[in-house]
Chain A
């Protein structure tokens, strides 16, 4: 059972958590400084169980969604919106801020794939889940959906652009569906796993291309981008 360690901590009783594709990097031993006993999980929602004495925005019983970033919300980078690059919460790295359950490289904060989790800076990150929002939508809004949307934003999509998304995991699916919202003319999702490409067609209304698993598809993908109508598509048509 985690305890309040700082006046602005909260303890949240987790009601739903997700496994993220990036958790697999931990699972596969790709993250440096992952220590025995560290609790994974950076996508979670729950109910506030206890708050520290300085917490003003939350009270016990509130249903909250907690963004995967831990950030101070006030200093140089946070003031400029770079919440994922907060310089104030993670002494172990200069590039990245804090992330729940993502090794000591990302601050060593225990994550939410647990019954209870300590939420530091409880007045900064978490938000009460709006009445109208379903819990499963809320938990996916703590990382995967915003990350996919962010990918589309970073692509600075202009009307009619051809967008290619590599990887039809959940982030890729949200990147593809978000691209339509930003004016994409074609959205093409590339992966080598058939059931995920099927999902990309039905969920994200994207065209799909299947890559072999062991050789780069670069000449083929170049061709797709260069000759929009040259190849017949095995996919559903894009929505108008």
Chain B
């Protein structure tokens, strides 16, 4: 789910270029179209606060439950700490790049352009390690 999900040219122009929409509804509309009737859609991450052309009519007529929020991180910690401690989740497995803080501009470029297999870049201030 993403505010800038690629997909439809019209949506890209209205949101990323003209800023008429607060975020791209592309992925959310795919979700609404994909789930079964009575299904559940969850929306996390970042979504712009402005108008967005979400297919609310389809969602309503299919009887969907749409649940949303930015994550309340600290509420998840007790359970996630246990999962990490027990080796059930290994968050750092998605780290693909480690850059000095001075080279962070390169990190943004790489992340934005999906270069070099980038999934999750870390930045480390000079002299820390």
Contacts and interface: CB of A to CB of B under 8 A. Distances in A.
Contacts of B49: 32, 93, 95-96, 105
Given A140-B92, A146-B73, A181-B88, A151 B36 contact: no
A225 B34 contact: yes
Nearest to A66: B73
Classify chain A's interface size: 35 or more
Interface string B31-44: 10111100011111
Given A18-B122, A133-B84, A155 B42 contact: yes
A208 to B, nearest CB: 14
A213 B45 contact: no
Contact of A69 (B65, B73, B129): B73
A3 to B, nearest CB: 18
A135 to B, nearest CB: 9
A82 B73 CA distance: 10
B101 interface: yes
Contact of B76 (A25, A146, A173): A146
A222 interface: yes
Interface string B83-99: 11100111111110000
Given A147-B71, A221-B30, A167 B16 contact: no
B98 to A, nearest CB: 9
A30 B71 contact: no
Residue picked from B69, B70, B121, most chain A C-beta under 10 Å: B70
B13 interface: no
Nearest to A140: B91
A68 interface: yes
Interface of A: 14-19, 21-25, 27-28, 30-32, 67-69, 71, 81-85, 93, 95-96, 99, 105, 113-115, 125, 127, 130, 132-134, 136-137, 139-156, 164, 166-167, 169-175, 177-178, 181, 190, 192-193, 195-196, 199, 203, 211, 213-218, 221-222, 224-226
Interface of B: 1-9, 15-16, 19, 23, 26-27, 29-31, 33-36, 40-46, 48-50, 65, 67-77, 79-81, 83-85, 88-95, 101, 104, 107-108, 111-112, 114, 117, 119-126, 128-129
Given A18-B123, A19-B107, A216-B26, 16 more contacts: A16-B124, A17-B101, A18-B122, A19-B108, A67-B74, A69-B73, A127-B77, A139-B122, A151-B44, A154-B44, A155-B67, A181-B89, A195-B114, A196-B119, A221-B30, A222-B34
11 contacts: A18-B123, A19-B111, A23-B108, A23-B111, A27-B112, A174-B91, A175-B44, A215-B8, A216-B30, A218-B30, A221-B30
